[in-house]
Structure 1
Amino acid sequence: MFRNLFMIVVIGLGGVAILVWLGTWQVQRLQWKQSVLSEIEARIVADPMPLPVVPDTETDKYLPVTATGEIGEGLFEVLTSRKEVGAGHRLVVPFETDGRRVLLDLGFLPQGSAVPEMPDGAITVTGNLHWPDEVDGFTPDPDLATGLWFARDVPAMAEVMKTEPVMIVRRDGGDLPGVTPWPVGTEGIPNDHREYAITWFSLAAIWLAMTVFLVYRRRKPEGDTA
């Protein structure tokens, strides 16, 4: 009996220790992720600068920029939905600025609303550079005939629009009736470490309770129903 109890205690406490370690590791990951998100948020709202000559998809991601130019011919409507608003589209257009041609995400247009007339002449917009990671194996191909897309695929959009593979997501400027700016934020960046930590600590508590119960049952004299 002593040997059986010893093995139960060793396995039980060993399992609890591993689960507690996993939960602690997730807490550390949570602190790291919160620090990263804080840095991104600070970068997003920093003072805007001119569009870089050769933007880099890593170092210039979320970079705040300001640019003056004209909206070119063409329009992509990206099917999406917004909390507390419902379904709609992001409007993506070519933007010609300082002899360059880039993509401009104008913002959100609710489902059923008519696309407004694009402004004539130059406009000044402030926003952030972004290369969204929205495409996966389940994303349908765009309908090029109608301009309907199901994700913001910057390289593919740039190829069709004949622009640089660069997107500015509008935050201010170039106001369009009915189109609400949907600026870059950290909402879409996953941060599930808190839930993972709670899961591991909960499993540790359950494992410990099961170990205590098993030890109690093994120590209980046979025939004792009390």
Structure 2
Amino acid sequence: MDKSRFIFRSIVQSQPARHITSATSSKPPWICTACLRRTARPSILFRAQRQHRRWQSSNQQPADNPEFQSIVDNPPQLVRANRKHNTLGLLILAAIPVTAFILGCWQVQRLGWKTDLIAKFEDRLVREPLPLPPQIDPNAIKEFDYRRVYARGKLRHDREMLIGPRLHDGEDGYLVITPLDRSEQFPGFKGNTTILVCRGWISKDKAAQSARLDGLPQGEVVVQGLLREPWKKNMFTPDNVPQEGKWYFPDVYQMAEHVGSQPVWIEETMRPDLLTSYDRMAKGVPIGRTPEVNLRNNHTQYIFTWFSLSLATTIMMWMVIKKAPGGSSRRLRQSKEW
């Protein structure tokens, strides 16, 4: 009985001491984590570590450690990269300014050629109109392109052809092509004297001849216009269907064979007058073209475009060559001594 009472008294006396120890160890100024791993519980170890880190952050600076080294004490070493530029990429990049410069020089030559051609055509426009002979050599038309001529004869409206669709001031319509029979003007000539005359543009609602009786002159007429070289067809224009009366492109040789005339193309001209054009449109009379050269001359813009591209790509190539490969001129080598 005395022995059990002694054991109970020892347990009661040891409990307050254990409580005091746990209470005082929760907030120590410093604690050994190695000892806590062996004796303390996990929760007490976690709180102790957290309080230790908090104490270090509030009371100790990195520079307090005598072995601490900053970036100034151990600066990085700058070394050049040993990579090389892609040879194929440089060749392709170098070919762009060279090609653009060559195209710019070619456009300079084209500008001179186009300027001389327009000047030659304008010189032909100011001359007096020539009468057309009964027979015309198709190979000689090139030397008389844009030459003012006139012819007398009778318009064959029964063989009329409409080329279209064609736009004029934003409205849809057709070009009226009518053969001009000149056999009465040259009665002693036994050959073919008929030529093709492009009378001008009519609106789509005046395509039927019954809707434009004022535009179908009868008897002998005098046609004055420009002698033009046969047109050249591009790959996007559909083929003509003469059997169905569908003409999409003025193929002079095909049209001449269809109506039995010479492959000679005359474009009838008129003075540019807005009121006259409106009156002709209302009556169904074809609106002729103005006697001027309508060749486009955009080579100056092309010259500026190609030379600008050559200069820009040359600067780009110089910047690429000057800049070392790898994205930067130098590469920073990491220092492991920090």
After TM superposition, the score normalised by the length of structure 2 is: 0.55
Residue 41 of structure 1: aligned partner: 122
Amino acid in the other structure paired with 1:213: M
- Could you say if the C-alpha distance between residues 208 and 157 of structure 1 is closer, same or farther in structure 2, counting changes exceeding 3 Å? same
1:105 aligns with 2:198: yes
Amino acid in the other structure paired with 1:167: W
Which residues in structure 2 correspond to 1:193-208 (within 5 Å)? 193-208=299-314
* Structure number, greater radius of gyration: 2
Which residues in structure 2 correspond to 1:82-161 (within 5 Å)? 82-97=167-182, 98-99=185-186, 100-113=193-206, 114-115=208-209, 116-117=212-213, 118-137=216-235, 138-145=237-244, 147-161=245-259
Over aligned residues, Cα RMSD in angstroms? 3.3
Partners of 2:265 and 2:307 in 1: CA distance: 42
CA contact (8 A) 1:79 1:90 kept: yes
Partners of 1:171 and 1:217 in 2: CA distance: 63
Residue 289 of structure 2: aligned partner: 182
More off after superposition, 34-43 vs 156-165: 34-43
| Residue correspondences, number | 218
CA contact (8 A) 2:230 2:265 kept: no
Amino acid in the other structure paired with 2:239: P
Partners of 2:173 and 2:308 in 1: CA distance: 40
Once the two structures are superposed, residues 61-96 of structure 1 have per-residue CA deviations (whole angstroms, 9 ceiling, x without a partner) of 222101122112321011132352322111111112
1:62 aligns with 2:146: yes
Work out the percentage of aligned pairs sharing the same amino acid. Answer: 24
Q: 1:74 aligns with which of 149, 159, 162?
A: 159
Bigger share in helix: 2
Structure 2 SS opposite 1:112: helix
Once the two structures are superposed, residues 1-52 of structure 1 have per-residue CA deviations (whole angstroms, 9 ceiling, x without a partner) of 9xx79x9xx9788864664343233223212212212212332343211003
After TM superposition, the score normalised by the length of structure 1 is: 0.79
Larger relative contact order (Cα-Cα within 8 Å, sequence gap ≥ 6): 1
1:209 aligns with 2:333: no
Partners of 1:136 and 1:19 in 2: CA distance: 26
CA contact (8 A) 1:78 1:149 kept: yes
1:221 aligns with 2:330: yes
Bigger share in strand: 1
